[in-house]
Structure 1
Amino acid sequence: IILESAYSLHDRTFFANIATILLYAIIGTFINVILIAISLNICAQAGFFGPNIPMMECAIFATLISAVDPVAVLTIFQEVNVNKSLYFLVFGESLLNDAVVVTLYSTISKLILIEYISANEIIIGFLGLLVISFGGVILGALIGVFTALATLYTEDVRVVEPLIVIMMAYLSYVIAELFHFSGIISLTTCGLVQAEYARNNLSKKSRTTIKYMTKTLSSIADVIIFLFLGIVLVRENHIWNTNFVIYTTVFCVVYRFLSVFALTYCANNYFQRVRVIDFEEQLIMAYGGLRGAIAFCLSAALNSDDTPNAQMFTTTTLLIVLFTVYVLGSTVKPAVRVLRIQIQAKQDTRKLFLALNDRVIETIMSAIEEISGQRSMNYWMVRIRF
Structure 2
Amino acid sequence: MTDMHMAENLQDVLWMLSIAMLVAMAARRLKLPYTIGLVFIGALLALTPINVGPTLTSELILDLILPPLLFEAALALKWPNLRAELTPILTFSVLGTLLALAAVAAGLIYLLHWPPGSALVFGALISATDPVAIIAMFKDNNFHGRLSLLVEAESLFNDAAAAVLFAMALSWALASGEAGGHTPDTAETVLTLARIVLGGLGVGVIAGAGAILLSRGTSEHLVELTFSTIAAFGSFLAAEHIRASGVLATVTAGLIVGNFGIFSANDRSLLSARGREAMVNFWEFAAFLANSVIFLLIGANVAVMDYKVSGVVVIAGVIGLVLAARAVAVYPLSLLFHWSRHAISLSQQLVLWWGGLRGALGLALALSLPPTLPLREEIVVVTFAVVAFSIVVQGMTMPWLLRRLGLL
- Range into which the TM-score falls when normalised by the shorter chain: 0.7 to 0.9
Structure 2 residue aligned with 1:151 = 215
Unaligned runs of 5+ residues in structure 1 are 46-52, 344-386
What is the Cα deviation at residue 145 of structure 1? 2.1
User: Is contact 1:222–1:293 with CA below 8 Å preserved after alignment?
Assistant: no
Structure 2: distance between partners of 1:141 and 1:268? 34
Structure 2: distance between partners of 1:100 and 1:275? 22
* Aligned positions of 1:167-186 closer than 5 A: 167-186=230-249
Structure 1 residue aligned with 2:296 = 227
What is the Cα deviation at residue 286 of structure 1? 0.8
Unaligned runs of 5+ residues in structure 2 are 1-68, 263-268
Structure 2 residue aligned with 1:280 = 347
Structure 1: distance between partners of 2:172 and 2:369? 14
Structure 1: distance between partners of 2:294 and 2:163? 17
Structure 1 residue aligned with 2:75 = 7
Structure 1: distance between partners of 2:397 and 2:221? 45
Higher RCO (C-alpha 8 Å, min separation 6): 2
Structure 1 residue aligned with 2:276 = 207
Residue number among 180, 184, 192 corresponding to 1:128 in the alignment: 192
Q: Secondary structure at the match of 1:112?
A: helix
Structure 1 residue aligned with 2:254 = 191
User: Is contact 1:111–1:125 with CA below 8 Å preserved after alignment?
Assistant: no
Spell out structure 1 runs of 4+ moving beyond 6 A. Answer: 116-119
Structure 2: distance between partners of 1:82 and 1:56? 39
Superposed CA offset, 1:99-144 (max 9, x none): 4323432343333332378986355224312321112112211332
Does the C-alpha gap of structure 1 residues 236 and 160 become closer, same or farther in structure 2, counting only changes over 3 Å? Answer: closer
Residue number among 328, 332, 338 corresponding to 1:268 in the alignment: 338
Does the C-alpha gap of structure 1 residues 21 and 118 become closer, same or farther in structure 2, counting only changes over 3 Å? Answer: same
Does the C-alpha gap of structure 1 residues 215 and 111 become closer, same or farther in structure 2, counting only changes over 3 Å? Answer: farther
What is the Cα deviation at residue 154 of structure 1? 1.5
Q: Secondary structure at the match of 1:335?
A: helix
Superposed CA offset, 1:305-333 (max 9, x none): x2231221222122211212111111112
Structure 1: distance between partners of 2:311 and 2:283? 39
What is the Cα deviation at residue 91 of structure 1? 0.8
* Aligned positions of 1:254-333 closer than 5 A: 254-269=324-339, 273-274=340-341, 276-304=343-371, 306-333=372-399
What is the Cα deviation at residue 296 of structure 1? 1.7
* Aligned positions of 1:375-386 closer than 5 A: none
Q: TM-score, normalised by structure 2?
A: 0.74
What is the RMSD computed on CA atoms of the aligned residues? 2.3
* Aligned positions of 1:4-43 closer than 5 A: 4-10=72-78, 12-43=80-111
What is the Cα deviation at residue 263 of structure 1? 1.0
User: Is contact 1:66–1:101 with CA below 8 Å preserved after alignment?
Assistant: yes
Structure 1: distance between partners of 2:122 and 2:271? 43
Does the C-alpha gap of structure 1 residues 231 and 335 become closer, same or farther in structure 2, counting only changes over 3 Å? Answer: closer
Does the C-alpha gap of structure 1 residues 246 and 192 become closer, same or farther in structure 2, counting only changes over 3 Å? Answer: same
